[in-house]
């Protein structure tokens, strides 16, 4: 079917593909308000950017009474009055599974193990569990998870350091971790946590809010692809690789040099290969920090914006954590995409570093396409993990 021919829930205006990331937030707005729906039918231009400014539906998005059923998946057990789900070493547990149609709207969790526990002072503490606790999400009965990534990398703590920040779609909130990526499902979704840590048992607190509602036909499945490894310096750093129709919606990237005071890995611009532009990138940037909308090796230090940020810049330890989100600037493809960072400097000028990343995409299929989660030893790629623990007693 031609994407332009598909309709929204009111049957009026075509569904806009632009970054679905923003459009789903207004899902059902014109359908939920009868007056607005009738106006859309009689004057379709009134609900598009070519009509009134601002569009009525967009201006009143928060006020729209949507035809949705709100539910929450939680680890809190009402009968037992227990807040958590134990996830012991070597175990893989299901937080929950939901049948129906709709979308995940907000996902929050936290867990101990990466900080000193005042209620259990003898418990082992190691920030590496931010890397060895694995999140997986499956949609519509797929065999491979669409989301497969360490918890820390997914929410913004991939360097095994927690620095509070909040973007529009994810962040670390002073001890908690949150995500607001809309994650559609037509039949079901399932959330799993696996503990690959060798020493630490943990307990997961989780609240996942989802909306049950009929979805437009032209929405993609949310995917999160994890990559990690060591790099001699000149080799490309792969961030995303996908087949089918979809768009790239951003990434989180964590880098650390083997030598302290080394940041030349930031010279590597993005190379974006799309559809038939496969041997030669469709476009390339001017530098890695430029892609994340910074400059001069993030000269002024850390920042946290709604669409891009640098939660951690530790030059002495050669460590940088970055993120960027794409909405109107999403990278669209119809057949395939590959996204890498490639350093143009001569190999003799470059030094070893390690990295991990999570790419965010929306694809036309629920089956996961990212690499499998490696062993715990491979996950713990950092040369140094800085101890940032501190007392927190209520």
348 contact partners, CB below 8 Å, separation of at least 6: none
Question: Which pLDDT belongs to residue 58?
Answer: 79
Question: Which pLDDT belongs to residue 128?
Answer: 96
Q: Is residue 21 part of a domain?
A: yes
Task: Judge whether 304 and 165 are in contact, CB under 8 Å.
Answer: yes
Question: Which pLDDT belongs to residue 35?
Answer: 35
Domain boundary among the residues 13, 38, 59 is at 59
Task: Judge whether 248 and 240 are in contact, CB under 8 Å.
Answer: yes
Q: Is residue 176 part of a domain?
A: yes
Which domain does 331 fall in, by range?
Answer: 69-379
**Count of domains observed in the chain:** 2
- Evaluate if pTM is beyond 0.75: yes
80 and 216 share one domain: yes
Q: Is residue 392 part of a domain?
A: no
47 contact partners, CB below 8 Å, separation of at least 6: 12, 13, 30, 36, 39, 40, 55, 56, 57
Domain boundary among the residues 59, 81, 105 is at 59
Pairing of strands 221-231, 147-150: parallel
115 and 263 share one domain: yes
129 and 81 share one domain: yes
Structure tokens at 271: 């190379």
The C-alpha atoms of residue 321 and residue 312 are separated, in whole angstroms, by: 5
Q: Is residue 44 part of a domain?
A: yes
- 3-state SS of 113-127 is CCCCCCCCCCCCCCC
Which positions of the chain have pLDDT values less than 50? 1-23, 25-51
227 and 206 share one domain: yes
Q: Is residue 385 part of a domain?
A: no
In 262-341, which ranges are continuous DSSP H helix? 288-291
339 and 294 share one domain: yes
Q: Is residue 386 part of a domain?
A: no
Task: Judge whether 351 and 286 are in contact, CB under 8 Å.
Answer: no
Question: Which pLDDT belongs to residue 53?
Answer: 60
Q: Is residue 391 part of a domain?
A: no
CATH code assigned at 196: 2.60.120.1390
98 and 244 share one domain: yes
Q: Is residue 43 part of a domain?
A: yes
204 and 329 share one domain: yes
183 and 239 share one domain: yes
111 and 252 share one domain: yes
Task: Judge whether 110 and 208 are in contact, CB under 8 Å.
Answer: no
26 and 110 share one domain: no
Half-sphere exposure of 273 (CA within 13 A, CB side): 18
The C-alpha atoms of residue 177 and residue 175 are separated, in whole angstroms, by: 7
Domain boundary among the residues 13, 29, 59 is at 59
193 and 337 share one domain: yes
43 and 124 share one domain: no
């Amino acid at each position: 079917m031609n994407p332009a021919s598909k309709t929204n829930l009111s049957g009026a205006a075509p569904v806009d593909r632009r970054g679905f990331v923003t459009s789903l937030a207004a899902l059902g707005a014109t359908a939920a308000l009868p007056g607005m729906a009738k106006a859309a039918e009689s004057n379709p231009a009134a609900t598009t950017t070519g009509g009134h400014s601002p569009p009525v539906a967009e201006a009143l998005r928060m006020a729209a009474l949507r035809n949705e059923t709100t539910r929450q998946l939680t680890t809190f057990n009402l009968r037992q009055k227990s807040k958590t789900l134990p996830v012991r070493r070597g175990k893989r547990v299901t937080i929950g599974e939901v049948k129906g149609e709709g979308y995940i709207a907000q996902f929050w969790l936290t867990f101990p193990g990466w900080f000193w526990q005042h209620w259990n002072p003898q418990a082992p503490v190691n920030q590496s569990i931010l890397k060895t606790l694995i999140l997986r999400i499956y949609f519509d009965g797929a065999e491979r998870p669409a989301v497969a990534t360490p918890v820390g990398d997914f929410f913004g703590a991939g360097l095994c350091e927690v620095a509070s920040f909040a973007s529009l779609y994810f962040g670390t909130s002073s001890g908690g971790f949150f995500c607001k990526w809309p994650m559609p499902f037509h039949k079901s979704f399932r959330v799993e946590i696996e503990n690959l840590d060798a020493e630490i048992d943990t307990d997961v607190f989780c609240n996942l809010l989802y909306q049950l509602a009929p979805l437009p036909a032209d929405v993609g499945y949310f995917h999160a692809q994890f990559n990690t490894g060591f790099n001699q310096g000149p080799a490309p750093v792969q961030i995303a690789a996908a087949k089918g129709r979809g768009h790239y919606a951003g990434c989180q990237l964590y880098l650390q040099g083997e030598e302290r005071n080394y940041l030349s890995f930031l010279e590597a611009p993005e190379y974006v290969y799309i559809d038939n532009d496969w041997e030669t990138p469709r476009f390339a940037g001017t530098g890695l920090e430029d892609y994340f909308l910074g400059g001069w090796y993030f000269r002024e230090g850390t920042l946290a914006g709604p669409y891009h940020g640098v939660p951690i810049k530790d030059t002495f330890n050669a460590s940088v954590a970055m993120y960027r989100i794409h909405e109107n600037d999403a990278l669209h493809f119809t057949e395939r995409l590959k996204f890498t960072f490639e350093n143009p400097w001569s190999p003799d000028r470059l030094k070893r570093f390690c990295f991990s990343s999570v790419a965010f995409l929306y694809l036309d299929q629920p089956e996961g396409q990212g690499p499998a989660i490696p062993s715990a030893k491979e996950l713990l790629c950092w040369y140094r993990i800085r101890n940032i623990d501190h007392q927190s007693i209520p």
